[in-house]
């Protein structure tokens, strides 16, 4: 058996080694804290508390911090990119909030998302899907299913008739961008729906451009297609569109900015299109010689459940974007947060927390 003197020697040696170990605070590490719901009185309290925890809770809390920084930075031009069925999922008023409060300065979206948002904006209704429903029966009844929600074919038919009134008043000698057409729909909404809120109406009122880079990939553009076929049958001029006009308008708008931020729901074409403008401006300078600029995103928040290992853009990290010259690396001041979650859960919490902070500051 070991004697007391031998244990004492072991303890002294261990103490010497223990004293050499770092305690976290000496290296300026940030401590985690238990989430105390008893101290939570607002959404902001909850989100701040979550930022000091771990896993998805921490990333959500940190995303709110980055969005707040974007919103408060007067030099920062913030681009909101949207994919997924967010308007069918009834997140449309969140987009209105971000536009109306000046949190975002431009929107890049899928066409489908804007189409369903217009359905909502004109006062039409979406319905819940029940798992007992049969998809073949839904088709026969005119119900289009988007996961757990139903879009009525009648809604889309009625929307077509409404936007036709907008198309008829456009100058058919001119070629239009998606941004210009959506602006006209926003103007029409402002004059027809009273105090009701709608995405394109808010964008029109705040002079926030909305771009649909994959314009033909949407029910809204199918409406343009049907309109043009009718025009041809009646020997009338068609409505001409060009995605190039959107690219150039967005590029010139971004070129004027001092600093950029991006808030992304999902990924896909809207995210890539919004981010690649930095590469385009760089290439213009290198390959054209005039009209270019070296500009990268300083802030970024991405909410998407897609993991990085699938290789798709929805899961692409901001670190990967640094390699393309799209993002400023953190060591040079870039601030980014990535939340691997369903946007219908994370987005409302993040946005409400930031809204409370901005209101409190006022």
Pairing mode of beta strands 210-211, 106-109: parallel
Instruction: Provide φ and ψ at 260, rounded to 5°.
Output: -125, 145
Mean pLDDT, rounded, for 244-272: 97
pLDDT beyond 70 at 135: yes
State the Cα–Cα distance between residues 60 and 48, nearest whole angstrom: 9
Per-residue pLDDT band for 3 (boundaries 50, 70, 90) equals: low
Q: What is the pLDDT of residue 111?
A: 95
Q: What is the pLDDT of residue 203?
A: 98
pLDDT beyond 80 at 15: no
User: What does each C-alpha distance from 226 to 121, 217, 229, 338 come to in angstroms?
Assistant: 22, 14, 5, 40
Mean pLDDT, rounded, for 106-134: 95
Under 8 Å between Cβ of 74 and 102? no
Instruction: Provide φ and ψ at 196, rounded to 5°.
Output: -60, 145
Per-residue pLDDT band for 12 (boundaries 50, 70, 90) equals: confident
Shortest CA distance to 248 belongs to which of 220, 280, 289? 280
Element (H, E) at 94: helix 92-100
Mean pLDDT, rounded, for 129-151: 96
- At residue 44's C-alpha, the angle toward residues 196 and 359, to 5°, is 55
Sheet holding 335-339, edge to edge: 210-211, 106-109, 76-82, 259-265, 297-303, 335-339
Mean pLDDT, rounded, for 117-126: 94
Choose the weakest-confidence range: 27-31, 63-67, 123-127, 138-142.
Answer: 27-31
To the nearest whole percent, how much of the chain has pLDDT over 90? 86
How is residue 321 written in tokens?
């974007």
Per-residue pLDDT band for 19 (boundaries 50, 70, 90) equals: low
Residues 301-346 pLDDT 10s: 999 998 888 888 788 899 999 999 999 999 999 999 999 999 999 9
Q: What is the pLDDT of residue 221?
A: 96
Residues 272-300 pLDDT 10s: 999 999 999 999 999 999 999 999 999 99
CB under 8 Å to 233, separation ≥6 — which residues? none
Q: What is the pLDDT of residue 296?
A: 97
State the alpha helices, DSSP H only, in 142-295. Answer: 153-168, 178-192, 199-206, 219-233, 243-255, 268-283
Pairing mode of beta strands 335-339, 259-265: unpaired
Chain mean position to CA 138: 31
Choose the weakest-confidence range: 4-13, 137-146, 338-347.
Answer: 4-13
Residues 197-252 pLDDT 10s: 999 999 999 999 999 999 999 999 999 999 999 999 999 999 999 999 999 999 99
Residues 33-70 pLDDT 10s: 999 999 999 999 999 999 999 999 999 999 999 999 99
Provide the Cα torsion 14, 17, 18, 19; round to 10°. 120
Q: What is the pLDDT of residue 27?
A: 84
Q: What is the pLDDT of residue 144?
A: 96
Residues 63-110 pLDDT 10s: 999 999 999 999 999 999 999 999 999 999 999 999 999 999 999 999
């Amino acid at each position: 058996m070991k004697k007391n003197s031998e244990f004492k020697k072991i303890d002294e040696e261990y103490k010497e080694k223990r004293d050499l170990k770092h305690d976290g605070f000496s290296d300026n590490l940030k401590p985690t804290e238990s989430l105390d719901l008893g101290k939570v009185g607002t959404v902001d309290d909850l989100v701040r508390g979550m930022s000091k925890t771990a896993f998805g809770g921490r990333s959500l809390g940190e995303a709110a911090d980055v969005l707040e920084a974007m919103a408060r930075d007067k030099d920062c031009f913030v681009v909101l990119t949207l994919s997924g069925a967010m308007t069918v999922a009834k997140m449309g008023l969140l987009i209105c909030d971000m536009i109306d409060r000046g949190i975002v300065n431009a929107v890049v979206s899928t066409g489908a998302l804007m189409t369903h948002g217009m359905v909502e904006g004109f006062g039409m209704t979406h319905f819940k899907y029940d798992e007992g429903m049969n998809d073949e029966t839904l088709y026969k009844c005119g119900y289009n299913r988007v996961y757990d929600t139903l879009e009525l074919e009648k809604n889309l038919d009625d929307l077509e008739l409404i936007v036709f009134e907008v198309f008829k008043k456009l100058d058919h000698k001119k070629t239009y961008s998606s941004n210009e057409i959506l602006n006209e729909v926003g103007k029409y909404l402002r004059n027809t729906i009273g105090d009701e809120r709608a995405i394109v109406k808010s964008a029109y009122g705040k002079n926030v451009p909305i771009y649909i880079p994959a314009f033909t990939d949407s029910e809204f553009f199918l409406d343009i297609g049907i309109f043009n076929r009718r025009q041809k049958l009646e020997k009338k001029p068609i409505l001409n569109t060009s995605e190039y006009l959107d690219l150039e308008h967005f590029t010139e708008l971004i070129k004027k900015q001092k600093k950029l931020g991006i808030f992304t729901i999902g990924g896909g074409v809207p995210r890539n299109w919004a981010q690649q403008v930095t590469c385009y401006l760089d290439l213009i300078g290198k390959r054209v010689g005039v009209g270019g600029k070296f500009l990268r995103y300083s802030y970024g928040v991405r909410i998407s459940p897609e993991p990085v290992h699938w290789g798709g853009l929805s899961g692409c990290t901001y670190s990967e974007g640094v390699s393309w010259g799209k993002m400023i690396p953190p060591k040079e001041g870039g601030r980014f947060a990535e939340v691997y979650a369903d946007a219908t859960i994370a987005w409302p919490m993040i946005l409400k927390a930031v809204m409370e902070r901005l209101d409190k500051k006022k």
